[in-house]
Amino acid sequence: MLTLLDQLDKGTLWRSPGGIHPPEVKFLSNATPIGQLPLASTYLVPVPQVGENCTLAVKVGDSVLKGTPLTQGTSIWHLPVHAPTSGTIVAIEPRASNHASALPVNTCVIAADGKDTWCELVQNQLDDLSHQQIVDKVRSAGIAGMGGAAFPTHIKLNPVSEIDLVIINGVECEPYISADDSLMREYSRDILAGIGIIHRLLTPKRIVIAIEDNKPEAAKAMQAAVSQSGLPAGSIRVTVIPTKYPSGGEKQLIQIITGREVPSGAIPAKLGIVVHNVGTAYAIHQAVTQGKPLIERVVTVTGKNVSKPGNYWLPIGTPVDHVLTATEFTPEPDQKVIIGGPMMGHALANIQVPILKGTNCILVPSSQEIGSTPEEKACIRCGECATACPALLLPQQLFWHAKAEEYDKAASYNLKDCIECGCCSYVCPSDIPLVEYYRIAKSALKQAADEKQQAERAKQRFDARLARLEEEKLAREAKAKEASERRQASMTGTDKNAVAEAMARIAAKKAAAAQAITGESITEESSVTTTDTTEVPKGKAAVAAAIVRAKAKRAAQANADGTDTNGAETDSARTDNMVNVDANDSISATDAIAQEAPLSQKDKVAAAIARAKAKKAAQQTDTVPLEPTETADSTSELSAADDKKAKVAAAVARAKAKKAAQQAETAASDIEVSNTEISVSDVNDAEAIKKAKVAAAVARAKAKKAAQQAETNTENGLSQTATPAVDSTASVHADVNADAETAVNAVATDIEVSITDVSVNDAEAIKKAKVAAAVARAKAKKIAAASAESKTDAEIESVDEIRAEDNVASPSIAATHDTATTEAEAVLPSVGSTAEPIETAPLSSDELKKARIAATIAKAKAKKAALAQEANASSDSSVTND
């Protein structure tokens, strides 16, 4: 069985799939030798042209010589560009690119000086250079694939795997292009010299120069050069292949020469094969042996609208419009200028673009050659595109997905293996520009891949930055820790104390700042604590002690006044003294509290209110005896008997009125003491508010009882009055009712003030307390009016009947007290909290206990009042009998 090398030596060829046979028009340009065009006034050199990561080596205003590097870089993919002629850098700015999109790229604009002076060139002997030096020279010369792909040549010359076969591509299958044909015919020896350098670097087992059979002169020239070269015999041969488009494609040519197919996504080097263009071999020879960079190339200028078609040496960066002008271009309406051949080239949108390293043809066809672009029609699914595809793809599927912008699905059909040869578009009966759709899809996929790669690089940089910052942080912490340990080791006792004091000051400042924010200070907190724990018990003890002293004083005064038994006047004086003592004792108790215990501001306010109430009660009591006096004076015209009875009745009424006032004042005093206890304890305490409300209810009940007692006493007094003294008695009765009403009003007013003092913020409770006081006053007025109306015309026989009625009325006082207590308990819910009624929020055990104690105290005081009333009634009866 023959090996691959044996088959190559015999000239065995394989058939490639697909392909077409377009008409050839090479004769327009290959009939004349390669020519030269006049220098342009301005050259446009894009940077970079191949690769990436380059920096400019020149700036605006610099003078450059022919062959001067314009860029520099360290990346393996970077290829420098050089000045195509001598001149001055007049601008570095974006200019239109040599692309179908005409997108702007950064461009060095060189104004030529017309001298075309070379920079210093270094010529070398090939034997004096190492492999790496040869590769570096190829790279520094900026040599890229001259067949159109413009792949960096130095990468192909330094493969990672062993190379068995090198193919020199001289096929040039495009129907209009003849640049490689002319180059092989005129520079065959230079091409063979470049092939010798490639052989030295790669040391392949075979080198095959492939040429189509439509270039017989080029084949003969290359065969002659091979025979004269110094390469080992049998290691290199010229192989002529059938003319077919696109036989010049890298993968297609490998398949024709070797019968092997390059896997999808792989490169020929994996099969041990490398492909170079004949123009690339020529540039390698120029760079290594003569030191010339790649600054010019052979370009085919052809088309029926060019008067001087042919192949020309054009400097890289020469504007296309200058080339067309030099070749006497005569444009037509809607004229197309195509870069590359009619199959794989692209039309320019702007002819003010430069010649690049991969530019091998400028085509300006007439309308008879190509014609107008036909209108795209719907795909008829004929399958001709799949038959013509040399890469064995499914162009129809690729078209549908590319048109629907489903680029991922198009990629799944091996879109990247498309060589954009244009065979599918050429054979499509619907005139669909299939290759244009594929190019758009490839660009979109490439952009997405670039963005993904950039994002991945950004993520790597970010992760590296975080790691660096973390390392720096740990290093700083370790350094600070070491410095702290050194300071502590060298620190004396005094220094340590100073540090401790500084830390204490810092802590104090922080605490002060926190107190300033919350509006409270350490002193205020301390004073509140002292008041809550120390002053409140002192205040309660002072209140209790003052009350005990007042009661003792009042008892002593009562004993002193009891020695005088001069009838009704003495009783009246004793009653006045008791009222005054009570008032004074109340004031003295309040003063004693203020003197004995340092009270808070709230406690002082409560004590002042208590003193004011006591004075008010004393003033009301002092005014009571005046009115009966005037009434007694109005009876001077009566008879002696009637006058005597009227005086007795007036004295009794006056005594009972004083007693009623005294009871009212006692109730008010009880409320004051209760309020004082609440204020001293905690004015804002909810429990104290409830106590105050209970006390108010009890006070209302006492007021009602006082009114009833006044009414009963008045009725008793009027029963003892004789008939002729009706007017005087009525007047006295009215005065007594007025006194009772005044006492009740005073108690009601005190209730309102007490409730207001206890809970200023409880608006609903205050409102209800005021209503209760108003109701109490109304009831008192109603009772007084009813008593006056019902008892005005009553006739009582004797003073004994007054005694009898008094004895009957005495049990009713206890009943009245019970009624008052019941009413107080009923009124209590009415002054409760509006937010949470008592029915739905029961009192705690302590609150119930305190309420029961208050009720018991009220009952005891009612019994005491009843006993006092009985004693007064007995005294009145004895005075009358006398």
Of 12-21, 322-331, 595-604, 813-822, where does mean pLDDT reach its minimum?
813-822
Calculate Rg over the CA atoms of the chain: 63
Predicted local confidence at residue 229, as pLDDT: 82
Give Cα separations from 419 to 86, 212, 249, 262, 354 (angstroms): 38, 20, 8, 13, 24
> Taking residues 803-825, what's their average pLDDT?
41
pLDDT tens-digit map of 226-259: 998 878 878 899 999 999 999 999 999 999 999 9
Give Cα separations from 838 to 54, 202, 614, 843, 853 (angstroms): 90, 107, 32, 7, 19
Predicted local confidence at residue 629, as pLDDT: 39
> Taking residues 810-828, what's their average pLDDT?
42
Confidence of residue 569 (pLDDT cuts 50, 70, 90): very low
Predicted local confidence at residue 27, as pLDDT: 92
Amino acid 521 reads S
Predicted local confidence at residue 824, as pLDDT: 40
Return the structure tokens found at 320.
């296309």
Return the structure tokens found at 13.
């060829």
Of 184-188, 616-620, 741-745, where does mean pLDDT reach its minimum?
741-745
Which residues have CB under 8 Å from 435's CB, separation 6+? 420, 421, 422, 424, 425
**Does the pLDDT of residue 567 top 50, yes or no?**
no
> Taking residues 35-50, what's their average pLDDT?
90
Return the structure tokens found at 165.
């076969």
Predicted local confidence at residue 245, as pLDDT: 94
Residue burial 120-144, b: 16+ Cβ < 10 Å; e: rest: eeeeeeeeebeeeebbebbbbbbbb
**Does the pLDDT of residue 141 top 80, yes or no?**
yes
Predicted local confidence at residue 300, as pLDDT: 96
Q: Of residues 517 and 95, which shows the higher confidence score?
A: 95
Range ranked top by mean pLDDT from 627-631, 692-696, 795-799? 692-696
**Does the pLDDT of residue 399 top 60, yes or no?**
yes
Q: How many residues does the chain have?
A: 882
pLDDT tens-digit map of 63-93: 999 999 999 887 788 889 999 999 999 999 9
Q: What percent of the chain has pLDDT over 70?
A: 62
Helix (H) or strand (E) holding 235: none
Q: Is the pTM of this model over 0.85?
A: no
487/499 Cα distance (integer angstroms): 12
The DSSP code for 373 is P
pLDDT tens-digit map of 761-792: 445 555 665 666 666 666 666 665 655 554 44
**Does the pLDDT of residue 723 top 90, yes or no?**
no
C-alpha closest to that of 865 among 622, 665, 717, 716? 665
**Does the pLDDT of residue 602 top 50, yes or no?**
yes
| Residue 838 and residue 829 in contact, taking contact as beta carbons nearer than 8 Å | yes
Mean model confidence pLDDT for the chain: 75
pLDDT tens-digit map of 348-396: 999 999 999 999 999 999 988 887 788 999 999 999 999 999 999 999 9
C-alpha closest to that of 165 among 207, 132, 134? 207
> Taking residues 517-527, what's their average pLDDT?
51
**Does the pLDDT of residue 628 top 50, yes or no?**
no
Predicted local confidence at residue 772, as pLDDT: 61
Give Cα separations from 451 to 265, 454, 456 (angstroms): 21, 5, 9
Predicted local confidence at residue 81, as pLDDT: 93
| Residue 117 and residue 141 in contact, taking contact as beta carbons nearer than 8 Å | no
Return the structure tokens found at 448.
């997405």
Provide the sign of the torsion angle of the four alpha carbons 424, 426, 429, 432, taken in this order: positive
**Does the pLDDT of residue 874 top 70, yes or no?**
no
Range ranked top by mean pLDDT from 120-134, 659-673, 733-747? 120-134
Q: Of residues 665 and 878, which shows the higher confidence score?
A: 665
Return the structure tokens found at 760.
């200023």
**Does the pLDDT of residue 686 top 90, yes or no?**
no
733/741 Cα distance (integer angstroms): 12
**Does the pLDDT of residue 134 top 80, yes or no?**
yes
438/421 Cα distance (integer angstroms): 11
Which residues have CB under 8 Å from 720's CB, separation 6+? 645, 648, 649, 652, 796, 798, 799, 801, 802, 880
Predicted local confidence at residue 76, as pLDDT: 82
> Taking residues 20-38, what's their average pLDDT?
93
**Look-up of token digits 């699905």:** 409
Helix (H) or strand (E) holding 753: helix 726-758
Confidence of residue 6 (pLDDT cuts 50, 70, 90): confident
**Does the pLDDT of residue 631 top 60, yes or no?**
no
Confidence of residue 860 (pLDDT cuts 50, 70, 90): confident
| Residue 747 and residue 702 in contact, taking contact as beta carbons nearer than 8 Å | yes
> What is the distance between the terminal CA atoms of the chain, rounded to a whole angstrom?
171
314/326 Cα distance (integer angstroms): 12
515/859 Cα distance (integer angstroms): 51
Predicted local confidence at residue 805, as pLDDT: 41
818/824 Cα distance (integer angstroms): 10
Of 55-59, 112-116, 324-328, 698-702, where does mean pLDDT reach its minimum?
698-702
Cα 410 versus chain centre, distance? 41
**Does the pLDDT of residue 736 top 60, yes or no?**
no
Predicted local confidence at residue 276, as pLDDT: 95
Predicted local confidence at residue 683, as pLDDT: 39
Predicted local confidence at residue 626, as pLDDT: 40
Predicted local confidence at residue 522, as pLDDT: 44
Confidence of residue 654 (pLDDT cuts 50, 70, 90): confident
> Taking residues 333-350, what's their average pLDDT?
91
Per DSSP bridges, beta strands 35-36 and 165-170 are unpaired
Predicted local confidence at residue 873, as pLDDT: 57
Predicted local confidence at residue 662, as pLDDT: 65
Amino acid 750 reads D
Q: What percent of the chain has pLDDT over 90?
A: 44
Predicted local confidence at residue 499, as pLDDT: 77
C-alpha closest to that of 324 among 356, 353, 295? 353
Q: Of residues 581 and 277, which shows the higher confidence score?
A: 277
Predicted local confidence at residue 709, as pLDDT: 65
Of 52-66, 192-206, 652-666, where does mean pLDDT reach its minimum?
652-666
